[in-house]
Amino acid sequence: MIRDITLGQYYPGDSILHRLDPRIKILATLAYIILLFIVNEWIGFAACFVFLAVEVALSKVPLSYILRGLKVIFLVILFTFVLNLFMYDGEVLVRIWKLTITDQGLKRALFMAGRLILLIISSSILTFTTTPIQLTNGLERLMKPLSKIGVPSHEIAMMMSIALRFIPTLLDETDKIMKAQQARGADFESGNILHRAKQMIPILVPLFISAFRIAQDMALAMEARCYHGGQGRTSMTEMRFRRRDYITAVILLLFAAGIITLRVLI
Amino acid sequence: MSIEVRNITHIYNKGLPQESVALKDVSFTVEDGEFLGIIGHTGSGKSTLLQHLDGLLKPDEGQILIGDVDITAPKVSLLAVRRQIGLVFQYPEYQLFDETVAADVAFGPRNLGLGQEEIDERVRESLSMVGLDYEKIKDKSPFDFSGGQKRRIAMAGVLAMRPRVLILDEPTAGLDPRAHRDVLNMIRAYHKSQADSIIILVSHNMNDIAEYADRVLVMDKGQVRMHGTPKEVFARSAELREIGLDIPDLADLAEKLLARGLHVPKDAFTIPEMAQAIAMQLRGGKTDPAAEGGEDA
Amino acid sequence: MDDIVRMEHVTFTYPATDVKESFNALNDLTLSIEKGSFVAVIGQNGSGKSTMAKLVNALLLPGEGTVWVNGYDTRDEAHLWDVRQSAGMVFQNPDNQIVSSIVEDDVAFGPENLGVEPAEIRRRVDEALEAVGMTAFRKNAPHLLSGGQKQRIAIAGAIAMRPQCIVFDEPTAMLDPKGRKEVMRIIRQLHAEGITCILITHFMEEAAQADRIVILNDGRIYMDGTPREIFTDRDSLMALGLDVPMAVDLSYQLHDLGVDLPAGIVEEEELIEALCPSK
């Protein structure tokens, strides 16, 4: 289970999506998510689906890998779906006790679940095809105007990047600690909620200590390599919009125009 | 109580693209009272094997019998397994969590459902076994100690469960030479104090394995490559080097001396033994029983 | 010849906490390290080795005395970055010193902090990865590499800053024998290329590869000499609980048993030659 978390991880590759400028990818993902919520008809939804399917194909990230990321939040999706299912008036399709499923409800539920799935996949595509450093650099550049009003854009970006870097390390650590405590007879599976919560202490305390140790080591290692904030810092990969980025921007604009037109017309 | 591992296979990520076979048809037996050393380079399947022995992982195929209990059976009580087997992970000091040393060491025995008196006695005993003074440290936080001392406290936490089978995964990693010897001597002392207990020690240090183990299991690519006495295993030096493992310093020396015609035994794994053997050879020039034994191998 | 590091009467004290009294990790330590040398520092845990390493990189500043690195006083804030650029550092835990999720981005981290031009960073990163033999892995995620490989990445990250000296703080402690050999091979190679290497280690066979060994005890220099000088002094090593090389210990015990051997045997080959001379 712990190893199923692929969300937020980078998937090494050399596809066209991997090579796009991170700024355009971040903006495109944001725009796509907004469009997902503008869409309210089947046809627009289908367009969004096709758009993402093309994206997935271009990214060359295996579909199974992408879907594995969904598994972790399957419950959230299910919950959203069920919640919407019973919430709307309309022509009654099924009646179970006091709950009714209407055609409107079903549609909304499908839309919301669909939106959520597309939203997660599209943002995963962003992190799968963009290294944390690129993502950080991209965000930093995009947020640069904000630093004039006192937003610490470099620091925010750096924190994000390091957090992403340490997800796998902390997951491994959790796995190790759990096994070590199980070997000492700890039982995480039985008992009531209170008992189980208490059983988490032997995992959480070492995990926090581990995290602090990592943070301390990291801070030393970064200082030793002359890190002193964003000031005067350069970047190995210069960010320059290339032809492919402009083409992407144009495609995206056309797509957005299409979706908005649909919304206005229907 | 012996351990019998029968044809176990373990596959990670079964059915996924990144599927990998960690253990393949592994079988071996550990006798009552035996000190088994396991060697193999990183990724050879050692850690996966240890976790199977403690019931933390279940094999995809095969069985593991501890005494006459099949711990791979679907309904087996893992608590019963833990009553018999203690596993000390690599860097065990990172699993300390409780407010006081005494409480942390008591965690295992408490999980076994022992009474307070019994627990207290075991905590006291196991702390003294690892060379710490119970009265002095029982109420201190385990986090206030040095790395080497934390390791001892963590080991005491496992010893307090009084396992019949004590498994240790590189217990000396990262220690300085003195602490290294202390830990190995503690393990030996535990082995002697518990009648017929089994020790399973994973180590990269061939000198330690040669000196302490009765038998050695060599793992390579998820399979058992060799299994025998240190003398038998380390005699196959060419094969060991081929799979990226070293041989003990003294075995290496014996090999080279034998090649030059000095009849020294291949199983003198401590310096005093080797010194005696060489001195005997040089003095008499005549063959003596120990040296002859060495040549047979 | 010039000294790259000079410590003069350095004392460093860790302040008292609720549970511990303050203690001096280093006591009036004076030590010079020659440019281009390979020095191993050994000693038990708590002997002050790590504190010394951190003083060279200005991660810690001396309480008393002065540390000079490449001619700069480490307390001089104006030259802090010069000190850290001159003396790179590789730490014990391979996981906790890699900043980025991509190998080559991590190697670029130091030069980026120094404000080096992008094209030049690219050149340095490629060179550094080549030097540690990790070019093929430059796009990989570090957490999927072996411990030895991760340590090589950390070394590349230090090399890319073009330091004159690298301090290795127990770089092999958490590695398996294969990883240890890889790392030692790279350290020897860096030394051959003229980089001063300061290696802190618990492994005597690693210390034996240096051209000078310094043994610390209680924050003071206990012994200082060539590996041969150090290792033949069996009694002093034993007194400190340190390991003695097999050939030294065996020769000593053979001598006790009345076997006549030449003095000063350190290596296995020397012992074999003494016992059965090749014809």
The domain defined by C36-57+77-227 folds into: Rossmann fold (3.40.50)
> What's the gap between Cα A264 and its chain centre?
30
* Residue-level pLDDT at B182: 93
A105 and A184 co-located in one domain:
no
pLDDT in tens, B94-132: 999 999 999 999 999 999 999 999 999 999 999 999 999
Q: Do residues B257 and B264 make contact, with C-beta atoms less than 8 angstroms apart? A: yes
pLDDT of C196 > 90? The answer is: yes
Q: Do residues C148 and C179 make contact, with C-beta atoms less than 8 angstroms apart? A: yes
Taking CB atoms and an 8 Å limit, are C250 and B146 in contact across chains? no
Minimum-distance CB partner of C246 among B249, B276, B283 = B249
Q: Quick one: residue A199, left, alpha or beta (phi over 0 = left, psi -120 to 50 = alpha)? A: alpha
A72 and A106 co-located in one domain:
yes
A160 and A264 co-located in one domain:
no
Q: Quick one: residue B173, left, alpha or beta (phi over 0 = left, psi -120 to 50 = alpha)? A: beta
Separation in Å, CA of A208 to nearest CA in chain C: 15
The residues near B220 (Cβ < 8 Å, ≥ 6 apart) are: B40, B41, B44, B243
Taking CB atoms and an 8 Å limit, are B94 and A206 in contact across chains? yes
Interior angle at CA A185, CA A184 and CA A186, nearest 5: 100
Residue type (1 letter), A209: I
Residue B136: pLDDT band by 50, 70, 90 thresholds? very high
pLDDT of B295 > 70? The answer is: no
* Residue-level pLDDT at B287: 46
* Residue-level pLDDT at B290: 47
Report the alpha-carbon distance of residue B162 to residue A43 in Å, rounded: 68
Q: Which residues pair with A223 in a beta bridge?
A: none
* Residue-level pLDDT at B292: 42
Taking CB atoms and an 8 Å limit, are A233 and C57 in contact across chains? no
pLDDT in tens, B77-90: 888 888 899 999 99
A38 and A164 co-located in one domain:
no
pTM of this prediction?
A: 0.85
Among B97, B114, B151, B158, most A C-beta atoms within 10 A, so best to mutate, is: B97
pLDDT in tens, B174-233: 898 999 999 999 999 999 999 899 999 999 999 999 999 999 999 999 999 999 999 999
A257 and A209 co-located in one domain:
no
Given the cut 0.85, state whether the ipTM is greater than it.
yes
Element (H, E) at B244: none
Q: Which two tokens stand for residue B77?
A: 């009580």
* Residue-level pLDDT at A221: 95
Residue B17: pLDDT band by 50, 70, 90 thresholds? low
Minimum-distance CB partner of A210 among B13, B17, B94 = B94
* Residue-level pLDDT at B291: 43
Q: Is B29 on the interface with C (CB under 8 A)?
A: no
A257 and A194 co-located in one domain:
no
A7 and A106 co-located in one domain:
yes
Which of the residues in chain A have pLDDT under 70?
Answer: 1-8
The total number of structural domains in chain A stands at 2
Is the residue at A138 inside a domain?
A: no
Q: Which residues pair with B216 in a beta bridge?
A: B37, B228
Is the residue at A83 inside a domain?
A: yes
Q: Could you tell me the residue ranges of all domains in chain C?
A: 36-57+77-227
Is the residue at A93 inside a domain?
A: yes
Helices of type H across chain A? 16-19, 22-38, 42-59, 63-72, 74-85, 103-129, 132-147, 153-183, 193-199, 201-224, 243-265
Report the alpha-carbon distance of residue C132 to residue C161 in Å, rounded: 14
A203 and A118 co-located in one domain:
no
The residues near B103 (Cβ < 8 Å, ≥ 6 apart) are: none
* Residue-level pLDDT at A11: 81
| DSSP string computed for C119-182 | HHHHHHHHHHHHHTT-GGGTTS-GGGS-HHHHHHHHHHHHHTT--SEEEEESTTTTS-HHHHHH
Query: Residue A77's domain spans which residues?
Result: 1-130+237-266
Report the alpha-carbon distance of residue A178 to residue A132 in Å, rounded: 28
Q: Which residues pair with C13 in a beta bridge?
A: C24
Q: What is the DSSP letter of C77?
A: G
A77 and A202 co-located in one domain:
no
A170 and A216 co-located in one domain:
yes
pLDDT in tens, A40-63: 888 888 889 999 999 899 988 888
The residues near A93 (Cβ < 8 Å, ≥ 6 apart) are: A100, A101, A102, A103, A106
Q: Do residues B28 and B70 make contact, with C-beta atoms less than 8 angstroms apart? A: no
Report the alpha-carbon distance of residue B259 to residue C165 in Å, rounded: 43
Chain C residues near residue B146 by CB distance under 8 angstroms: 45-46
Mean pLDDT for all residues in chain B: 91
Report the alpha-carbon distance of residue B145 to residue A142 in Å, rounded: 47
Report the alpha-carbon distance of residue B222 to residue B25 in Å, rounded: 8
Separation in Å, CA of A181 to nearest CA in chain B: 7
Q: Is C255 on the interface with B (CB under 8 A)?
A: no
Q: Which two tokens stand for residue B82?
A: 């833990």
Mean pLDDT for all residues in chain C: 93
- Across the range C206-232, mean pLDDT stands at 94
Three-state DSSP class for residue C87:
strand
* Residue-level pLDDT at B219: 96
Three-state DSSP class for residue A227:
coil
Best CA proximity match to A105, nearest among A126, A124, A90? A90
> What's the gap between Cα B126 and its chain centre?
18
Question: Where would I find the beta strands (DSSP E) of chain B?
Answer: 3-12, 20-30, 35-39, 61-66, 69-70, 85-88, 165-169, 198-202, 215-220, 223-228
The residues near B155 (Cβ < 8 Å, ≥ 6 apart) are: B88, B92, B130, B171, B183, B186
A210 and A118 co-located in one domain:
no
Is the residue at A162 inside a domain?
A: yes
* Residue-level pLDDT at A4: 55
A115 and A242 co-located in one domain:
yes
Closest residue in B to C258 (Cα) is B279
Residue listed under structure tokens 């190679």: C189
